[in-house]
Structure 1
Amino acid sequence: MTDFLTTQQGRRLAYVLTPGTGPTVVFLGGFKSDMTGTKAQFLEGWAKERGRAFLRFDYSGHGQSSEDFLDGAIGDWAQDAVAAITALATGPLVLVGSSMGGWISLLTAKAMPERIAALVGIAAAPDFTEDSMWASFDAPQRAALERDGHVALPSEYDGGPYIITRRLIEEGRSQLVLRDPLPLPFPVRLLQGSADVDVPQEVALRLFAHADSPDMTLTLVKGADHRFSNPENLSLLAETLDSLSL
């Protein structure tokens, strides 16, 4: 059953909390995605089978949560993650971040490193507003962003084009994690598809090289796409979590 949490900022976040033992597994979804996606639902089933605590939620402007998506930015959604975790989960955490959620998980880990037992990134996309979006804009797109406050990008997913706001780009620059040291003093597992055209494997390799972790692995899956949601991919995700033995 979906419940709601009101943050200190007045944002109303939809969430589903599965009670259980062990470090709470927290799923952090991607850009314009929500907590009803394949990976979130799969992980909830995985948690119930093992009696593990599990939290999935919608960032503000996503899914069933309040606010307009176009008003949000990376810092807001990281703030939502910290608020949801602080209010709803006790003890150690295993963060599972998909795409943008990989970036949010790194920001969450920076905000509360003492609570992180492990981190799993699925096609993690740190710094994508700068390195993927802004870096790929041509002169007319950059001019439109400055003039109109937004620019439309084509999308292969449902819901039409992505509307990228100037605030998303500018605020994202205050949240970058690949420009400064990134200590991750806990096990880190990165899963990446070789056929991912949204977050290419070079991003995973850069994160792998940049982060400082005593126990970090990168698994590159031949042929897997950005969704990373077919049965084989989901089985690998379950195996990865099981292997952490937390």
Structure 2
Amino acid sequence: MQYLETASGRRLAYNKFSGRRTGVVFLGGLRSDMTGSKAMHLEAWARRSGREFLRFDYSGHGASSGAFTDGCIGDWAEDAMAAIDALTEGPQVIVGSSMGGWISLLMAKHRPDRMAGLVTIAAAPDFTENGYWKAWDEARRKELMEEGQVSLPSEYGEPMVITKRLIEDGRDHLVLDAPLKIDVPVRMLQGTADKDVTMDVALGLLDHVEGADIRLELVKGADHRFSDPDCLGTITRAVEEVLIRG
């Protein structure tokens, strides 16, 4: 494991495998880290194929500096762009899982020159607004505004703490409120049994994004983790297809 000191003063843990380009970069989800099954599977695939690969932890995640509750979408997108700028060269294939899918779409919007292709896995664009704020009743919204945070039950372990800053910053980074054109191959992967990011989100994203080579693949019965052997194989197949077509 190595560390990158960013211009913002954050210390990001990362692991990079050097190989042939075009490289692949994995962007994880909210409260996940770079040791998750999808990141490790992709690294193993990259090593077998001799492909350059980068995985890292956002600030407040995994082995990187900072507290999770101090972060927000803008910070984590900044982390991703800092890591890609400092640790890779040329256009990359970005693989974004859940929140990482949102961040990868921000990259497509603001740094298209660094993208050779995009693979999203249960992408969760604008989830702070559409997934949390709009679904909450007035009591929950009032609690957030007065207390500065709310705790939500999570099937992945400890309660999920959602801060006022996360919600308010998310509004500055929405990608579904304006046209979004992506001129590189895009493959969107989505499980039909995903309870965290439902199929209507994936279908809405497919309808929203403009581009000449964009496809959505639904995997019947797959949940939000998208990490069983078949799903992991689907991810690498999508990455390989994007590399060929990019």
Which TM-score tier does this pair reach, normalised by the shorter chain?
Answer: over 0.9
Question: What is the letter of the counterpart of residue 96 of structure 1?
Answer: V
Cα distance, 1:223 vs structure 2: 0.2
Supply the distance in 2 between the matched residues of 1:73 and 1:148 (Cα, whole angstroms): 17
Correspondence list, 1:179-198, <5 A: 179-198=177-196
Q: Deviations over 1:93-113 (max 9, x none)?
A: 000000000001111222210
Correspondence list, 1:94-173, <5 A: 94-158=93-157, 160-173=158-171
Q: Deviations over 1:142-190 (max 9, x none)?
A: 11001100111110002x1111000000000000000001011110000
Supply the distance in 1 between the matched residues of 2:93 and 2:240 (Cα, whole angstroms): 12
Supply the distance in 2 between the matched residues of 1:169 and 1:81 (Cα, whole angstroms): 19
Question: What is the letter of the counterpart of residue 152 of structure 1?
Answer: S
Supply the distance in 1 between the matched residues of 2:23 and 2:211 (Cα, whole angstroms): 21
Cα distance, 1:91 vs structure 2: 1.1
Supply the distance in 1 between the matched residues of 2:12 and 2:114 (Cα, whole angstroms): 22
Report runs of 4+ in structure 1 exceeding 4 Å deviation: none
Q: Helix, strand or coil for the counterpart of 1:173?
A: helix
2:238 pairs with 225, 237, 240, which one?
240
1:222 pairs with 220, 223, 229, which one?
220
Cα distance, 1:71 vs structure 2: 0.5
1:86 aligned partner = 85
* Structure 1 residues without counterparts, runs of 5 or longer: none
Supply the distance in 2 between the matched residues of 1:107 and 1:46 (Cα, whole angstroms): 26
Two-structure CA RMSD over aligned residues (Å): 0.7
Q: Helix, strand or coil for the counterpart of 2:173?
A: coil
Cα distance, 1:115 vs structure 2: 2.0
Supply the distance in 2 between the matched residues of 1:30 and 1:47 (Cα, whole angstroms): 20
Cα distance, 1:243 vs structure 2: 1.9
Supply the distance in 2 between the matched residues of 1:155 and 1:115 (Cα, whole angstroms): 34
Supply the distance in 2 between the matched residues of 1:242 and 1:164 (Cα, whole angstroms): 36
Question: What is the letter of the counterpart of residue 187 of structure 2?
Answer: R
2:176 pairs with 175, 178, 189, which one?
178
Supply the distance in 1 between the matched residues of 2:58 and 2:110 (Cα, whole angstroms): 17
* Structure 2 residue 24 is matched with structure 1 residue 25: yes
Question: What is the letter of the counterpart of residue 215 of structure 1?
Answer: D
Cα distance, 1:24 vs structure 2: 1.1
Q: Helix, strand or coil for the counterpart of 1:61?
A: coil
Return the TM-score normalized by structure 2: 0.98
Q: Deviations over 1:43-64 (max 9, x none)?
A: 0000001000000000000000
1:204 aligned partner = 202
2:66 aligned partner = 67
Question: What is the letter of the counterpart of residue 70 of structure 2?
Answer: D
Question: What is the letter of the counterpart of residue 174 of structure 1?
Answer: D
Question: What is the letter of the counterpart of residue 193 of structure 2?
Answer: A
* Structure 2 residues without counterparts, runs of 5 or longer: none
Supply the distance in 1 between the matched residues of 2:98 and 2:160 (Cα, whole angstroms): 15
Return the TM-score normalized by structure 1: 0.98
Cα distance, 1:205 vs structure 2: 0.4
Cα distance, 1:238 vs structure 2: 1.2
